[in-house]
Amino acid sequence: MTQQLNLLRGALLLVILVISANSFAQIPQNGVSQSKAPYYALTNARIFVSPTETLEKATILIKGTTIEKVGKRVSIPKNAVEIDCEGLTIMPSFIELSSDIGVQKAVAKKGNGRPQLESLKPGSYYWNESIHPEIDASQGYAPNEKANKSYLDAGFGFAFTHQKDGVAQGQGALVSLAKSNLYKPTLNMGAGSYFSLSKGVSRQTYPSSQMGSIALLRQAFYDAQWYKSNEQTERNLSLEALNSQWDQASIFYTKDKWEILRAAKIAKEFDRSFAYVGSGDEYGITEELKALSSTIILPINFPKAYDVTDPYVARQIPLSDLKQWEMAAYNPSILVENGIPICITMEGHKTSKEFWAHLRKAVEHGLSSSEALKALTLNPAKLIGADDKIGSLESGKLASFTIYSSNPLEDASTEMIETWSLGERKIVKTYERPELAGKYSLLIGERRLPLKIDSKSPGKFSGSISPNGDEDSDSKIKVKLIVEQNDVTIQFGINDSIWKGSVNLRGKINHRLKIFEGDGMTPTGEWVKWHAVQTEKGKSVKDKEKKPFKTDSLAVAWFPNMAYGFDSIPESQPILFSNVTIWTNGIEGIVKKGFVLAENGKITYAGTRKPNTPRETIEIDGTGKHLTSGIIDEHSHIAISKGVNEGGQAISAEVSIGHVVHPDDINIYRQLSGGVTAAQLLHGSANPVGGQSALIKLKWGHTPEEMLIDDAPKFIKFALGENVKQSNWGSYATIRFPQTRMGVEQVYYDGFDRARAYQQEKASNPNYRVDLELEVLNEILNEERFISCHSYVQSEINMLMHVADSLGFRINTFTHILEGYKVADKMAAHGAGGSTFSDWWAYKYEVNDAIPYNAKMMHDQGVVVAINSDDAEMGRRLNQEAAKAVKYGGMDEEDAWKMVTLNPAKLLHLDNRMGSVEVGKDADLVLWTAHPLSIMAKVDYTVIDGVILFDSERDSELYQRNQAEKARIIAKMLNANAAGNKKDFVKKKKGHYHCNTIGEEGSTEENQH
Amino acid sequence: MEKKVQPKKINIKMKHIIIFFAFVSSVAFAQEPSRILLSGGNLHVGNGEVFESAAIGIEDGKITFIKNAFAFTLKESDWDTIIDVTGKEIYPGFVAPNSTLGLTEIDAVKATRDYRETGIYNPHVRSQIAFNVESKVMSTVRSNGVLLTQATPRGGIISGSSAVMTTNGWNWEDATVQKDDGIHLNWPSSMQGGGWWAEPAPKTKNKKYGERKQAIVEFFEMAKAYTQENNPEKKDLRLEAMRGCFDGTKRVYIHADELQELADVIEFSKALGLAYPVIVGGYDAHLITDLLKDSKIPVMVVRPHSLPENEEDAVDHAYRLPSLLKAGGVKFCIQNEGDMEAMNARNLPFLAGTAMAYGLSEEDAVSAITLWSCEIMGIDKSYGSVEKGKSATLFVSEGNALDMMTNQMVLGVVNGELISPSNFQQDLMEKYSKKYTK
Look at A71-75, A452-456, A935-939 and tell me which has the smallest mean pLDDT: A452-456
In chain B, domain spans:
11-92+393-437, 94-187+230-377
Q: In chain A, which residues have their Cβ closer than 8 Å to the Cβ of B315?
A: 564, 669-670, 673, 876, 955
Distance from CA of B302 to the nearest CA of A (A): 14
Res A15: pLDDT:
36
Is A312 in contact with B1 (Cβ distance < 8 A)?
no
Range among A513-517, A638-642, B19-23, B47-51 rated most confident: B47-51
Categorize the per-residue pLDDT at A549 as very low, low, confident or very high, splitting at 50, 70 and 90: low
Is A986 in contact with B312 (Cβ distance < 8 A)?
no
Pick the last residue of a domain from A373, A396, A430. A373
Domain identity same for A586 and A644 = no
Cα-Cα-Cα-Cα torsion A392, A393, A397, A401, nearest 10 degrees, comes to: 90
Is B197 in contact with A669 (Cβ distance < 8 A)?
no
Q: In chain A, which residues have their Cβ closer than 8 Å to the Cβ of B1?
A: 889-890
DSSP 8-state secondary structure symbol assigned to residue A708:
B
Distance from CA of B71 to the nearest CA of A (A): 34
Q: In chain B, which residues have their Cβ closer than 8 Å to the Cβ of A315?
A: 259
As a whole number, mean pLDDT of residues A398-423 equals 92
Domain identity same for A528 and A661 = no
Categorize the per-residue pLDDT at A1000 as very low, low, confident or very high, splitting at 50, 70 and 90: low
Percent above pLDDT 70 for chain A: 92
Selected for mutation to probe chain A from B140, B315, B319 (highest A CB count within 10 Å) is B315
Res B10: pLDDT:
55
Domain identity same for A201 and A256 = yes
Q: Which residue of A has its CA nearest to B304?
A: A873
Minimal Cβ distance to A962: which of B203, B312, B407: B312
What value of ipTM does the predicted structure carry? 0.94
Report the alpha-carbon distance of residue A597 to residue B293 in Å, rounded. Answer: 50
C-alpha dist (Å) from residue B383 to A598, B83, B174 = 54, 22, 15
Domain identity same for A505 and A596 = no
Q: Which residue of A has its CA nearest to B307?
A: A873
Q: In chain B, which residues have their Cβ closer than 8 Å to the Cβ of A998?
A: 198
Res A87: pLDDT:
86
> What is the assigned CATH class of domain B94-187+230-377?
alpha beta
Distance from CA of A587 to the nearest CA of B (A): 24
Q: Which residue of B has its CA nearest to A672?
A: B315
Minimal Cβ distance to B429: which of A857, A936, A1002: A857
Minimal Cβ distance to A883: which of B5, B191, B404: B404
Is B346 in contact with A839 (Cβ distance < 8 A)?
yes
Minimal Cβ distance to A1001: which of B199, B310, B358: B199
Categorize the per-residue pLDDT at A747 as very low, low, confident or very high, splitting at 50, 70 and 90: very high
Categorize the per-residue pLDDT at A254 as very low, low, confident or very high, splitting at 50, 70 and 90: very high
Selected for mutation to probe chain A from B191, B205, B311, B406 (highest A CB count within 10 Å) is B311
Closest CA to A708 of A718, A691, A694, A721: A694
Q: In chain B, which residues have their Cβ closer than 8 Å to the Cβ of A563?
A: 311-312
Q: Is-contact A692 A716, C-beta < 8 A?
A: yes
Q: Domain count of chain A? A: 4
Domain identity same for A486 and A339 = no
Burial label, A23 (beta-carbon count in 10 A; 0-12, 13-18, 19+): middle
pLDDT tens-digit readout, A45-69: 999 999 999 999 999 999 999 999 9
Is A935 in contact with B353 (Cβ distance < 8 A)?
yes
C-alpha dist (Å) from residue A924 to A463, A566, A630, A902, A937 = 76, 19, 5, 12, 18
Categorize the per-residue pLDDT at A21 as very low, low, confident or very high, splitting at 50, 70 and 90: very low
Domain identity same for A195 and A171 = yes
Distance from CA of A215 to the nearest CA of B (A): 22
What is the distance of C-alpha A187 from the center of its chain?
A: 29
Q: Is-contact A90 A46, C-beta < 8 A?
A: yes
Query: Cis link prior to A852 (omega < 30° from 0)?
Result: no
Distance from CA of B205 to the nearest CA of A (A): 7
Q: Kindly provide the residue ranges of all beta strands, DSSP E only, lying in A699-798, ordered along the sequence.
A: 714-719, 785-791
Res A471: pLDDT:
73
CB pairs under 8 A between A and B: 195
pLDDT tens-digit readout, A779-834: 999 999 999 999 999 999 999 999 999 999 999 999 999 999 999 999 999 999 99
Categorize the per-residue pLDDT at A433 as very low, low, confident or very high, splitting at 50, 70 and 90: low
Q: Which CATH superfamily is domain B11-92+393-437 in?
A: Urease, subunit C, domain 1 (2.30.40.10)
Report the alpha-carbon angle B331-B334-B340, nearest 5. Answer: 155
Selected for mutation to probe chain A from B287, B307, B337 (highest A CB count within 10 Å) is B307
Minimal Cβ distance to A843: which of B108, B193, B432: B108
Q: Is-contact A862 A840, C-beta < 8 A?
A: no
What is the distance of C-alpha A958 from the center of its chain?
A: 27
A442, amino acid identity: L
Categorize the per-residue pLDDT at A648 as very low, low, confident or very high, splitting at 50, 70 and 90: confident
pLDDT tens-digit readout, A86-97: 889 999 999 999
Is A312 in contact with B403 (Cβ distance < 8 A)?
no
Selected for mutation to probe chain B from A317, A662, A887, A983 (highest B CB count within 10 Å) is A887
Residues A103-107: contacts with CB under 8 Å, at least 24 apart: A103/A137, A103/A140, A103/A141, A103/A161, A103/A162, A103/A163, A103/A173, A104/A140, A104/A163, A105/A163, A105/A164, A105/A165, A106/A163, A106/A164, A106/A165, A106/A166, A106/A200, A106/A201, A107/A201
Contacts of A360 (CB under 8 A, 6+ apart): A409, A410, A412
Domain identity same for A682 and A619 = no
Is B197 in contact with A991 (Cβ distance < 8 A)?
yes
Q: In chain A, which residues have their Cβ closer than 8 Å to the Cβ of B314?
A: 959
DSSP 8-state secondary structure symbol assigned to residue B49:
-
* Residue burial A334-364, b: 16+ Cβ < 10 Å; e: rest: bbbeeebbbbbbbbebeebebbbebbbbbbb
Res B4: pLDDT:
35
Handedness of CA A652, A654, A657, A662 (dihedral sign): negative
Q: Which residue of B has its CA nearest to A727?
A: B108
Q: Which residue has the higher pLDDT, A31 or A72?
A: A72
Domain identity same for A703 and A737 = yes
Tell me if A385 is assigned to some domain.
no
Res B55: pLDDT:
95
CATH code of the domain containing A207: 3.20.20.140
Given a cut of 70, the residues of chain B with pLDDT beneath it are 1-32, 192-204
Is A843 in contact with B107 (Cβ distance < 8 A)?
yes
Minimal Cβ distance to B198: which of A935, A962, A999: A999
Kind plus residue range of the DSSP H or E element containing A483: strand A477-484
Minimal Cβ distance to B315: which of A316, A670, A857: A670
Handedness of CA A390, A394, A396, A402 (dihedral sign): positive
Minimal Cβ distance to B404: which of A880, A959, A984: A880
Handedness of CA B208, B214, B216, B218 (dihedral sign): negative
Q: In chain A, which residues have their Cβ closer than 8 Å to the Cβ of B5?
A: 889-890
What mean pLDDT, rounded, does chain A reach?
A: 91
Q: In chain A, which residues have their Cβ closer than 8 Å to the Cβ of B196?
A: 1005
Domain identity same for A333 and A199 = yes
Closest CA to B364 of B53, B44, B145: B44
Domain identity same for A938 and A818 = no
Report the alpha-carbon distance of residue A975 to residue A599 in Å, rounded. Answer: 49
pLDDT tens-digit readout, A369-389: 999 999 999 999 999 999 999
Distance from CA of B342 to the nearest CA of A (A): 9
As a whole number, mean pLDDT of residues A119-133 equals 96
Report the alpha-carbon distance of residue A17 to residue A949 in Å, rounded. Answer: 60
As a whole number, mean pLDDT of residues A193-218 equals 96
Look at A158-172, A545-559, A581-595, B368-382 and tell me which has the smallest mean pLDDT: A545-559
Pick left, alpha or beta for residue B253 (phi over 0 → left; psi -120 to 50 → alpha; otherwise beta).
beta
Is B403 in contact with A936 (Cβ distance < 8 A)?
yes
Report the alpha-carbon distance of residue A119 to residue A113 in Å, rounded. Answer: 16
Minimal Cβ distance to A955: which of B258, B315, B407: B315
Res A553: pLDDT:
77
Q: In chain A, which residues have their Cβ closer than 8 Å to the Cβ of B322?
A: none
Is A845 in contact with B109 (Cβ distance < 8 A)?
yes
Domain identity same for A532 and A579 = no
Identify the bridge partners of residue A595 per DSSP, sorted by sequence position.
A607
**Domain carrying residue A947:** 568-630+915-951
Is B403 in contact with A883 (Cβ distance < 8 A)?
yes
Q: Which residue of B has its CA nearest to A820?
A: B432
Is B356 in contact with A936 (Cβ distance < 8 A)?
yes
Decide: pTM greater than 0.80. Answer: yes
Minimal Cβ distance to B312: which of A857, A937, A966: A966
Q: In chain A, which residues have their Cβ closer than 8 Å to the Cβ of B399?
A: none
Q: Is-contact A852 B425, C-beta < 8 A?
A: yes
Is B357 in contact with A935 (Cβ distance < 8 A)?
yes
CATH code of the domain containing A935: 2.30.40.10
Minimal Cβ distance to A987: which of B5, B196, B204: B204
Is A889 in contact with B429 (Cβ distance < 8 A)?
yes
Domain identity same for A796 and A936 = no
Minimal Cβ distance to A938: which of B202, B305, B357: B357
B54, amino acid identity: A
**Maximum distance among all alpha carbons in chain B?**
73
